[in-house]
């Protein structure tokens, strides 16, 4: 399956180094699933984690508030999993944005979303283990527990996208259809135009193809992307192996910034 992000990807064989922990003016943007949290059989089984919550709460003030979660999950799910550790956030691939000051902007849902939810539900009813996620402005068909249904799920999602004009976003064992007009790159760009992010150096951590838009946006604004997970074609400049390594990196940044404050 191919997914055109419009990036100028790194070659698959090109290794990526570990990101630096010292970035002056760092503005940190973090995806949720696959970056801050591991995957679970169903989305609702991803739970808060004391270590993750602690490091996010420590980093926010040390970065003068330049910390945000950018995820395909809704804002309410982001807050549930992180225990509201990040005031600034974007949910549903940029369709929901909450500034550091708490202002929330949500795009109106495309009318076709309701038909897509119904079609996905009919599919899930016929394929035990498949799960439909209704996000209001988008819907996802999860098949992690129904891997044999992957090809059929993809056909359905692509057909619905062609018929309705909804945007298809493949992810880890999910096909998502969303209201057009935003992506994680537009979310990062929008947040970077707001205080306290404005003037910072954006660094985006992401793991899947939907994060490529944000990697490109970070580069365009003078920062860079960090791919989390196995090496693949990517616009990211650096890479980490997985969630534990991301949390280690965040701890290292917090320690470095903490020392600077004490100095």
Mean pLDDT over 97-111 rounds to 97
Compute the C-alpha angle 22/17/199, nearest 5°. 40
pLDDT digits (tens, 9 = 90+) for 13-69: 467 999 999 999 999 999 999 999 999 888 999 999 999 999 999 999 999 999 999
User: Cβ distance 178 to 137 under 8 Å?
Assistant: yes
Q: What is the mean pLDDT of the chain?
A: 93
The whole-number pLDDT of residue 262 equals 65
Return the structure tokens found at 133.
Answer: 């996620």
Higher pLDDT, 12 or 124: 124
| pLDDT value of residue 259 | 83
Element (H, E) at 217: helix 212-220
Q: How is the chain split into domains, by residue range? A: 26-106+182-262, 112-178
Q: Is 31 a catalytic residue?
A: yes
- Segment 98-102 mean pLDDT: 96
What tokens does 3 get? 């997914």
- For 61-82, the pLDDT digits (tens) are 999 999 999 999 999 999 999 9
**pLDDT (0 to 100) of residue 263:** 57
Q: Assess contact for 246 and 240: CB atoms under 8 A.
A: yes
Q: Which residues contact 136 (CB under 8 A, 6 or more apart)?
A: 74, 92, 109, 113
Q: What is the predicted pLDDT for the residue at 10?
A: 54
DSSP string, 116-130: HHHHHHHHHHHSTT-
Return the C-alpha torsion angle 211, 217, 219, 221, nearest 10: -150
The residues, ordered by sequence, that sit 6+ positions from 177 with a Cβ below 8 Å of its Cβ are 113, 116, 120, 138, 139, 140, 157, 160, 161, 164, 166, 167, 168, 169
pLDDT at 93: 96
pTM of the model: 0.91
User: Per the structure block, which two tokens stand in for 231?
Assistant: 């090496």
- Statement: 112-178 belongs to CATH 3.30.70.1020: yes
The one catalytic residue among 31, 33, 183, 208: 31
Say yes or no: domain 26-106+182-262 is CATH 3.30.565.10: no
Let me know: does 247 contact 228? Beta carbons within 8 Å: no
The rounded Cα 202 to chain-centroid distance in angstroms is 15
Place 7 in a pLDDT band, splitting at 50, 70 and 90: very low
């Amino acid at each position: 399956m191919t997914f055109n992000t419009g990036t100028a990807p790194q070659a698959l064989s090109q290794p990526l180094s570990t990101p630096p922990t010292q970035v002056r003016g760092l503005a940190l943007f973090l995806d949720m699933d696959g970056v801050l949290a591991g995957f679970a059989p169903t989305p609702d089984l991803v739970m808060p984690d004391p270590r993750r919550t602690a490091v996010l709460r420590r980093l926010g003030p040390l970065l003068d508030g330049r910390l945000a979660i950018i995820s395909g999950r809704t804002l309410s799910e982001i807050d549930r999993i992180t225990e509201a550790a990040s005031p600034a956030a974007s949910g549903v691939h940029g369709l929901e944005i909450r500034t550091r000051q708490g202002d929330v902007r949500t795009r109106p849902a495309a009318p076709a979303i309701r038909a897509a939810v119904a079609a996905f539900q009919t599919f899930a009813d016929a394929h035990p283990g498949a799960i439909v996620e209704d996000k209001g402005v988008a819907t996802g068909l999860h098949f992690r527990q129904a891997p044999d249904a992957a090809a059929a799920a993809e056909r359905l999602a692509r057909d619905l996208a062609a018929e309705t004009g909804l945007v298809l976003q493949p992810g880890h064992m999910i096909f998502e259809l969303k209201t057009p007009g935003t992506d994680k790159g537009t979310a990062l760009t929008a947040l970077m135009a707001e205080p306290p992010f404005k003037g910072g150096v954006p660094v985006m951590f992401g793991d899947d193809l939907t994060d490529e838009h944000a990697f490109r946006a970070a580069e365009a604004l003078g920062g860079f992307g960090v791919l989390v997970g196995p090496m693949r074609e990517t616009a990211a400049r650096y890479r980490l192996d997985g969630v534990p390594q991301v949390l280690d990196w965040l701890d290292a940044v917090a320690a470095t910034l903490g020392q600077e404050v004490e100095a």
